[in-house]
Amino acid sequence: MVFDMGDPFGPCPVEQDRVALTADFDAFTILTGRFLDGSSRGVAAYRARQRGGPAVPRNPAAGRYLGRTRTPTPVRSVEDMITAEGLTKRFGDKTAVQDISFTVQPGTVTGFLGPNGAGKSTTMRMIVGLDKPTSGRTTVNGKEYRRLRAPLTEVGVLLDAKAVHTGRTARNHLRAMAATHGIPASRVDEVIDLAGIGSVSRKRAGKFSLGMGQRLGIASALLGDPHTLILDEPVNGLDPEGVRWVRQFVRFAASEGRTVLLSSHLMSEMAQTADHVIVMGRGQVLADAPLDELVRAWTTTTVRVRSPRVADLASAVAGADVEIVSTSPESLEIVGLPASRIGDIAADRGIPLHELTPTNGSLEDAYLALTGESVEYRSAEYPAKELA
């Protein structure tokens, strides 16, 4: 299949019915709504407008754009979800995804986690119609993605920030996308400002750094003011300001009742962003739970104690379910008792405490414990060196 790569706002205008969004077929499929079965939603809507026929209705939420302060949008219905039911995908004799089912609820940020090769990207591609499931099905807002009438206004997708025509400017890339759905040029300007690419919007995308490419991809996902966002590694390559901005905008989107599915390998960032997590490993769902519950279930709380009488304290707190590790002549790490109980025992026996610090497990700890047997590509381990 060959796409005309002329700039629709240069010698080859969109008005000549030669819509070409990108050299990458996957991006063309997502952005215009043209699918493997030959059906077309976004492009058909645009052409209807050009012929003077009825256009695809604007998003009911049009005019309420991310980044503005307004009354939060309530969760609309159970149809505003992403669902996977018995989803399986095989590539020859390789099973990438094995009979998985999950639901991504509106009004929350759902983290999508897993090691390399776990099947996350393949699952996301099936959700947006780029890969056909071997069995099972996925729906977005109650429909298969390919049956959405105006995809850009319902689902914002970032799977590959580099899937743009490198010879086109950022502004013209977004204008071409907007033209397929009748989105006004003013919205293009808004998402350019939201993503912070105003100063480079007239530069060719092929000259963008990794971080600028990510910002353009995020602007593309926001263009139609969609109720659902599917973002694969959106903070990859961003500077700290950009990372914080992504965190804030997805949290804000969820607060408005939008559905957000977000993948990342940065556990510390995901811990600050996600409400719920789905963890995959070797093509299967290993966990599907609220973030706090997952961390509690897969980590332990360690209490760090310092005292001039650690031997007496160790004897006092010892028990069948208590683990005590001496870390220095005056320090212990205790697992199996809460800090409050340790403090009470020390007070009852007149043992002075110079430190009593509970240390909770992190999402990273829980993730590593959960996926330890599911890592397909394992790096070599080197002995750790103690700091001087």
pLDDT digits (tens, 9 = 90+) for 318-330: 999 999 999 999 9
Q: Is the dihedral of CA 232, 233, 239, 240 positive or negative?
A: positive
122 shares its domain with 231: yes
273 within some domain: yes
101 shares its domain with 165: yes
SS3 content of the chain, % helix, strand, coil (to 5): 35, 20, 45
180 shares its domain with 309: no
386 within some domain: no
Domain boundary among 270, 293, 316: 293
- Residue 309: its pLDDT value, please? 95
- Residue 28: its pLDDT value, please? 44
Q: For the whole model, what pTM was predicted? A: 0.75
254 shares its domain with 323: no
pLDDT digits (tens, 9 = 90+) for 81-140: 999 999 999 999 999 999 999 999 999 999 999 998 899 999 999 999 999 999 999 999
Q: Per mean pLDDT, which range of 9-23, 37-51, 165-179, 265-279 is the poorest?
A: 9-23
What's the Cα-to-Cα distance from 196 to each of 4, 166, 242, 251, 328, rounded to whole Å?
A: 29, 19, 9, 18, 50
CATH number at residue 314: 3.30.70.250
Domain boundary among 238, 264, 293: 293
Total tally of structural domains belonging to the chain: 2
114 within some domain: yes
- Domain of 355 in residue numbering reads as 300-359
pLDDT at 20 over 60: no
pLDDT digits (tens, 9 = 90+) for 200-251: 999 999 889 888 999 999 999 999 999 999 999 999 888 899 899 899 999 9
pLDDT digits (tens, 9 = 90+) for 310-365: 999 999 999 999 999 999 999 999 999 999 999 999 999 999 999 999 998 899 99
Where do the H-state alpha helices sit in the chain? 25-32, 42-50, 120-127, 170-181, 185-195, 210-222, 240-255, 267-273, 291-298, 310-317, 339-348, 363-371
180 shares its domain with 267: yes
- Number of helices and strands (H, E) in the chain? 12, 13
380 within some domain: no
70 within some domain: no
135 shares its domain with 268: yes
- Residue 360: its pLDDT value, please? 87
* Dihedral Cα 342, 348, 354, 359, nearest 10 deg: 10
CATH number at residue 87: 3.40.50.300
316 shares its domain with 220: no
184 shares its domain with 94: yes
For 124, list phi and psi in degrees, rounded to 5. -65, -40
- Residue 80: its pLDDT value, please? 64
- Residue 376: its pLDDT value, please? 64
pLDDT at 14 over 70: no
137 within some domain: yes
CA–CA dist 292, 244 (Å, integer): 21
CA–CA dist 388, 382 (Å, integer): 18
88 within some domain: yes
- Residue 382: its pLDDT value, please? 58
242 shares its domain with 346: no
150 shares its domain with 206: yes
169 shares its domain with 136: yes
41 within some domain: no
CA–CA dist 87, 254 (Å, integer): 25
88 shares its domain with 104: yes
